[in-house]
Amino acid sequence: MEVQAKRVQGRLENLQRKCDFVAVQKCKAISPSLHEMKTTKQEKASASRINKVNGRVYEILIVLMEWISDYHLSKLKPEDGEGDDQKESCHFSTHKNYIQEKCVKLLPVIAEQLQWMPFVNLKLHLPVIKFIYWSIRQLDYGTQHSTMTATMRRLGEELFKGVTIRTHDSSPEHFVVTKPKTAVFFKSPNLSLRFLSTLIVLKTVTQVDYLAQTFDSLCLDLKIDEGKALFLEYQAVPVILSHLKITNKGLLSNVMDSLLQMTVESRFLQPFLEACSNVLFFRTCSVLLRHPKLDLQILEKLSIILQKLSKIKSNKKLFELFTLHLMLQEIQRTANPEHVFLCINLNSTLFNLGLTKCNSLVTTASS
């Protein structure tokens, strides 16, 4: 009996030790998982704080971008607008080069940031796109543009197509694909954002199909007063003129339609005509009119704008500077009398320039 009692006691002790060992192992297994849970919660809290900080940083940067755009980059001065004084001209040239250097450095960095726009508050998109637009416009009058070809093309394509990012829950327990986050620019329902994106696409993209869609969108936006106001605010005439070339045969009609939308009688007509009353516009028209096989419809549309510009007395010297008056006289002389609309505009233009006497066609045009 005593021997059996000792054996039972030994078994009980062994079982007790085994239970203690199992309990210790369970504690060790549970402890890391608890630690991981705590770590995950801490990481999420930390990520949340970082996101809030990043959001604040973005807001600060946006304010700075808007300030720089409105008070510095948007102050465009074309070459023919420089001062006559040599010292002033030198100062302007130095200042212009400085701004262009900064724009060249910043644009690639901002282009990289477009991929994160789906995660950025929508109200912050417009200042970023505005900064991009004015930075690109600053490069109009410099030689830096050639070094930015790839960046420009990327900017234009991303604004045209938009940016889409697919996200997912990457936790080890489950992998769930969530709804993609997108940021639209050229196709944005916001007129200001869409309009600016349209102008940037026109400045950066060369694909004809993209440009055709862009001009179609621009024409629609210019049918409303808000669109016309944005056209003037963003000094869009030079952007459109860059496509008013005989080599762009497939787009010429679209380009002219965009300009014609601005010639509709409204409170925006006079500011638009003033924006066209410069060397760049008249030089572009002169090159276009010199082409011997210019399409009749293009010629008629151009004659409408020139007729309105001829009403501004100070423009007479620009007509003469680029011999537009002589070209119009020759076109008038050789024009088919059946093209009544063209003849009316030509006669009216030449009359406004003091080169013809008033006749029935002019009377018809002005009535």
Q: Give the DSSP per-residue string, 94-139.
A: HHHHHHHHHHHHHHHHHHHHGGGGGGS-GGGHHHHHHHHHHHHHHG
Write the single-letter amino acid at 153.
R
Domain boundary pick from 173, 205, 237: 205
* Residue 98 domain flag: yes
Q: Is 352 helix (H, G, I), strand (E, B) or coil?
A: helix
Query: What local confidence, expressed as pLDDT, does residue 172 receive?
Result: 52
Query: Which residue from 246, 247, 348 is spatially nearest to 299, judged by alpha carbons?
Result: 246
Number of domains in the chain: 2
* Residue 60 domain flag: yes
* Residue 179 domain flag: yes
On whether both 186 and 308 belong to a single domain, the answer is: no
Query: What local confidence, expressed as pLDDT, does residue 303 receive?
Result: 97
CB atoms within 10 A of CB 292: 5
Domain boundary pick from 154, 182, 205: 205
Residue 200 near residue 133 (C-beta atoms within 8 A): yes
From first to last of its 367 residues, what are the pLDDT tens digits of the chain? 666 656 656 666 666 676 666 665 665 555 555 444 545 555 454 445 445 546 677 777 878 888 888 878 888 765 554 445 566 667 667 778 888 888 889 899 988 888 888 888 888 899 999 999 999 999 887 665 667 888 999 999 999 999 988 765 555 555 555 678 899 999 999 999 999 999 999 999 999 999 999 999 999 999 999 999 999 999 999 999 999 999 888 899 999 999 999 999 999 999 999 999 999 999 999 999 999 889 999 999 999 999 999 999 999 999 999 999 999 999 999 999 999 999 999 999 999 999 887 654 444 444 3
On whether both 67 and 173 belong to a single domain, the answer is: yes
Name the token pair of 145: 């543009």
CB atoms within 10 A of CB 355: 17
On whether both 174 and 67 belong to a single domain, the answer is: yes
Q: Compute the distance between CA of residue 259 and CA of residue 351 in angstroms, rounded to an integer.
A: 23
* Residue 296 domain flag: no
On whether both 180 and 311 belong to a single domain, the answer is: no
* Residue 270 domain flag: no
Domain boundary pick from 171, 189, 205: 205
Query: Which residue from 66, 74, 71 is spatially nearest to 126, judged by alpha carbons?
Result: 66
Name the token pair of 68: 């720089």
* Residue 54 domain flag: yes
On whether both 56 and 186 belong to a single domain, the answer is: yes
Name the token pair of 226: 């808000």
Residue 156 near residue 200 (C-beta atoms within 8 A): yes
The domain in which residue 366 lies consists of 302-367
Name the token pair of 333: 């002389």
Give the Å distances, CA to CA, from 60 to 56, 57, 210: 6, 5, 34
* Residue 114 domain flag: yes
Query: What local confidence, expressed as pLDDT, does residue 271 receive?
Result: 98
Give the Å distances, CA to CA, from 105 to 75, 108, 132: 19, 7, 12
Residue burial 249-280, b: 16+ Cβ < 10 Å; e: rest: eebbbbbbebbebbbeeeebeeebbebbebee
**Residue 169, phi then psi, degrees to nearest 5:** -85, 110
Name the token pair of 23: 């309990």
* Residue 235 domain flag: no
Contacts for 96 with CB less than 8 Å, ≥ 6 apart: 77, 138, 141, 142
Looking at residue 182, the DSSP 8-state letter turns out to be: E
Query: What local confidence, expressed as pLDDT, does residue 168 receive?
Result: 57
On whether both 171 and 64 belong to a single domain, the answer is: yes
